[in-house]
Structure 1
Amino acid sequence: MNKITELFNIKYPIVQGGMIWVSGWKLASAVSNAGGLGLIGAGSMYPDVLREHIQKCKKATDKPFGVNVPMLYPDIEEIMNIIVEEEVKIVFTSAGNPKTWTSFLKEQGITVVHVVSSVKFALKAEAAGVDAVVCEGFEAGGHNGREETTTFTLIPMVREQVKIPVIAAGGIGTGRGMLAAMTLGANGVQIGSRFAATIESSAHDNFKKTIVDVKDGDTHLTLKELAPVRLVKNRFYERVQELYQNNPSIEDIKELLGRARAKKGMFEGDLDEGELEIGQIAGLIHEIKSAGDVIADIMKEFNEVKLELNSL
């Protein structure tokens, strides 16, 4: 048994990223039913909407699934209470101090995983008592670490320092990538972008098509003054770059960003003025398929490449 499959009681050490506007109950249950760990992305849900997704996910799968909670959330207390009331067994926390909620969740018998972007934060998460860490490299989509450490260097550095299981994230979407991450010391992988471009993803079809069309160099990490985010280079991205030419204040940047920019792009399909968050791995995503097929493909390639390497 692998440490991650054992921790979550799943078949394969594959976790689906709990992405905003993308990871609803349909995607989470499909990933869990296929042998991975599905996550509902609470970051774009009002409390009552999250409750509804948890309840629907329970009906759609009898396998383990979890909820991803960005701790910048305004209704965080209500969200955590719903998670406890609905008897969710696994919670991934991100964008905040793991100390704040870990002991509360652990007291409820919940497995807690925290997302980090550096060795320093991995050690803090371990000290806070989490069960595992997701180490997310610079290649990842969505919100990202300011350090710009790549997955290839982050994983072995964290592995050297912590005793808890390590899940690699950022730039992984194939069996080959999964094997590479595990060779570097990860016990499992978290995959976001590849699952964003699936049939069950709640992303808008325009956004899914964009993911398939993205080539290397078509995304860029920006908005570091607020929270670093990797975006597709569309008209909104160009406006951000134009603003940077004028040495803007944080208030100027916030004003341009406005409200619900990510919803506009990823959920409503506005490819010009929306915020389109996706990882560098999008250059390897060539078609939209079911989450189950994605997992089957990843495991097939993982096992084939492992055999190839054994022959070396």
Structure 2
Amino acid sequence: MNRITQLFGIKYPIVQGGMIWNSGYKLASAVSNAGGLGLIGAGSMYPEVLREHIQKCKKATTKPFGVNVPMLYPNIEEIMQIIVDEGVKIVFTSAGNPKTWTSFLKERGITVVHVVSSSKFALKAQEAGVDAVVAEGFEAGGHNGREETTTLTLIPMVKENISIPLIAAGGIATGKGMLAAMVLGADGVQMGSRFAASTESSAHIDFKKTILETQEGETLVTLKELAPVRLIKNKFFYDVQEAYANCASTEDLKTLLGRARAKRGMFEGDLVEGELEIGQIAGLIHDILPVETIIGNVIAEFNSAKVTINEIQF
């Protein structure tokens, strides 16, 4: 047992990223049933849809699960009240100030984790009273930090500055990656892209297949003026680059992005005009597998790599 398995009451220190349009109750409950911590991604759900997913998740697993809440989304008060009303015990917050909701949640007996992209924000989260932080490197898919710090350097820097449990995220999809993050000081890992390409992910099958086809160098962070996001290079991505070349204003970029672009890409399978969010680690993902198999493979590789490391001497 380590600090993360103890904090959440889970078997393995593996957290599933709360990815929009990928993380419904089927994925969250499957991860929890397989020994990790599943998260429902509230960012792509209207309040009543979130309530439905929480209720279905409670029926699908007796194990701990949580909800990921990006705080920049509307209806935040309603979402937080639903989380409390439905008895959710773990909340991961992101994209906002952790002070805003941490005390509200903790006063109601909820474990709070905040996602950060720098040591500075990790310290602010610790001061706000969160129970743990997720430090997410620049390799990660979806919305990203502006600092461009990679996981390899971010984790030991954050570890040096905080005393609360630390979860590493960004570029982790294998047992070896998990071991590397923990050697650097993480107590556990959060994986997003690997679970996006799972049988239980709510993403469109065409998006899942695109993840498998994505090679090294075929994702890039863009739209930093709005909210930095790592995307697969498709027609929409190149439209954004063309807009930059034509000196587009922030308002022009907002107009180009429009509404529901991520839903169109990841949930509805529009590979041309949709927003396709995935991490750099997609280049190492070669199959769509059931969650139970994914976690089993990660733990087996972790244990094997640990033995190999122990045998190395200089």
* TM-score above 0.5: yes
Counterparts of 1:1-312 in structure 2, within 5 Å, are 1-312=1-312
AA matched with 2:36: G
Shift of 1:248: 1.1
Q: Secondary structure at the match of 2:30?
A: helix
Separation of aligned partners in 2, 1:259 and 1:3:
40
Shift of 1:78: 0.4
Separation of aligned partners in 1, 2:65 and 2:293:
18
Residues 56-80 of structure 1 deviation map (CA, whole Å, 9 limit, x = unaligned): 0000000000000000121000000
Separation of aligned partners in 1, 2:309 and 2:154:
23
Separation of aligned partners in 1, 2:166 and 2:247:
39
**CA RMSD of the aligned region, Å?**
0.3
Q: Secondary structure at the match of 1:230?
A: strand
AA matched with 1:174: T
Shift of 1:94: 0.2
Shift of 1:40: 0.1
Shift of 1:43: 0.1
Query: What count of residue pairs does the alignment treat as equivalent?
Result: 312
Separation of aligned partners in 2, 1:238 and 1:47:
33
AA matched with 2:232: V
Gaps in structure 1 of 5+ consecutive residues: none
AA matched with 1:273: E
Gaps in structure 2 of 5+ consecutive residues: none
Shift of 1:247: 1.2
| TM-score of the superposed pair, with normalisation by structure 1 | 1.00
Separation of aligned partners in 1, 2:248 and 2:210:
29
Shift of 1:308: 0.4
Separation of aligned partners in 2, 1:82 and 1:88:
9
Separation of aligned partners in 1, 2:291 and 2:224:
32
| TM-score of the superposed pair, with normalisation by structure 2 | 0.99
Identity %: 77
AA matched with 2:223: L
Separation of aligned partners in 2, 1:250 and 1:87:
40
AA matched with 1:284: L
Separation of aligned partners in 1, 2:91 and 2:11:
18
Separation of aligned partners in 1, 2:32 and 2:98:
25
Residues 181-232 of structure 1 deviation map (CA, whole Å, 9 limit, x = unaligned): 0000000000000000000000000000000110000100100000000000
AA matched with 1:180: A
Q: Secondary structure at the match of 2:48?
A: helix
